[in-house]
Chain A
Amino acid sequence: MTTDVLIAGAGIVGAAIAAALREAGAKCLVVEPEIVGGGATAAGMGHVVVMDDSPAQLALTEYSRHLWDALPLPPNVEREHRGTLWVAADAEEMAEVHRKHALYPASEILDAQALYEAEPELRPGLAGGLLVPGDSVLYAPCAAAWLLRLSPVRYTAIETLTDDGARLADGTPVSAGLTILACGTGITRLLPSLPVKPRKGHLAITDRYPGFLQHQLIELGYLKSAHGHSNESVAFNVQPRSSGQLLIGSSRQYGDDSADIRPELLSRMLRRAVEYMPRLVDLQVIRTWTGFRAATPDSLPLIGPYSDRVWVAAGHEGLGITTSLGTARLLADRYIGQPSAIPAEPYLPERFA
């Protein structure tokens, strides 16, 4: 079997790459051992969000958000421009609001009163927040399927990389000019030297409560908890879906490879949510689950060549939905040899060589 580009992984990143390279004129084959959008793509919140842990992260998320907005997504992707509301609990977090405001285009500072007008269910005593109206939410498994609608998918895994491509788990040899690995945490099975580690998360979803919540809400304390080096952290992070359901997160954990729910961590996560939104206690939770973010040491993804014939696109951690389109664009630009809209260097895998 011969193809121009072999893509491993039919998650949102692999799907976006297939769409972009197809548009660039390459013949692509996607291989996926399970189902389309069934890994971290399905496990996450589907939040398209600008973030600024580093200038490179800001550049990639902002660029990607712009690319999402340019896509004519079908209704089943349930895209809504809910906007992100970063919630500040105290003066220290308000300082962070002001810092972000300077970085995020069209963002809006809310004082306490404006915060409660925007989200009346928040507990009293909070300081304010930053509204980023351009951020959106979407349903990523259907987005992945839509991006893949024109690309052939073969349901098997790559067993091993070969000199001219790969051998698939079903025994088929594939000859490919280029192989792109977009298989999230699974990438270290094929390239063990890459510094990608699973970072487990929990989520819960409720029954339908239309109108309970208007924006994606994230506590700014998140910055302290998500980036601390403690092994386990939780943060208040809730999202209204177009169905009226609420997604409630989030937790971060290293060193737990089991997909099982950790009841005490789930409870801690939900207690954090209730601290911010007391009336959540009354809502019916219909499902909980876990997923694995592919994390790198510097919180930036690996996008670019690993060798001449093998490129990687992995390690997007919690921003895979957002940055999938930017990732795909960077690789497509490289493939056809045109300059990119943002510098590609910060994401090159060689930084860990």
Chain B
Amino acid sequence: MIRITINGRSLEVAAGTTVAAAVMTIQPGFRRSVSGELRGPLCGMGICMECRVTLNGHRHERSCQTLCTPGMEVVTDA
């Protein structure tokens, strides 16, 4: 198992879990759209950019294309 934090909350996930899948298990929304709508992943394959989060301080990273690694810090806008 791998331990990560999402918005400060600690979470254990199985190896091979993407950040998007990890976030989705605890909350539906990943970001606020330009007009304030709550959004989550659509395509699941790195195309739609709806799953962007801040990963270890880097903003606008696609969570569906990134595997969870130990100690990873994930911050969502929503």
Contacts and interface: CB of A to CB of B under 8 A. Distances in A.
Real complex partners, A and B?
Answer: yes
Interface in A183-218: 207-209
Category for how many chain A residues contact B:
under 10
A18 B34 CA distance: 34
Given A207-B59, A207-B60, 7 more contacts: A208-B60, A209-B59, A243-B34, A282-B58, A282-B59, A284-B59, A284-B60
Contacts of B34: 243
9 contacts: A207-B59, A207-B60, A208-B60, A209-B59, A243-B34, A282-B58, A282-B59, A284-B59, A284-B60
In the A-B complex, list the 9 residue pairs whose CB atoms are closest, starting with the nearest: A207-B60, A284-B60, A282-B58, A209-B59, A284-B59, A207-B59, A243-B34, A282-B59, A208-B60
B48 to A, nearest CB: 13
Interface in B24-78: 34, 58-60
Contacts of A284: 59-60
Contacts, number: 9
A282 B59 CA distance: 8
Category for how many chain B residues contact A:
under 10
Interface of A: 207-209, 243, 282, 284
Contacts of A208: 60
A16 B68 CA distance: 54
A284 B60 CA distance: 7
Contacts of B59: 207, 209, 282, 284
Contacts of B58: 282
A282 B34 CA distance: 21
A209 B52 CA distance: 13
Contacts of A243: 34
Contacts of B60: 207-208, 284
A208 B33 CA distance: 11
Contacts of A207: 59-60
Nearest to A284: B60
A303 B60 CA distance: 46
A68 B58 CA distance: 38
A189 B44 CA distance: 49
B60 to A, nearest CB: 5
A209 to B, nearest CB: 7
A66 B16 CA distance: 60
Nearest to A206: B60
Nearest to B57: A282
A284 B58 CA distance: 10
B47 to A, nearest CB: 14
Interface centre among A207, A209, A282, A284 (most CB of B within 10 A): A284
Contacts of A209: 59
Nearest to B58: A282
A283 to B, nearest CB: 8
A207 B59 CA distance: 9
A207 to B, nearest CB: 5
Nearest to B52: A207
A160 B60 CA distance: 50
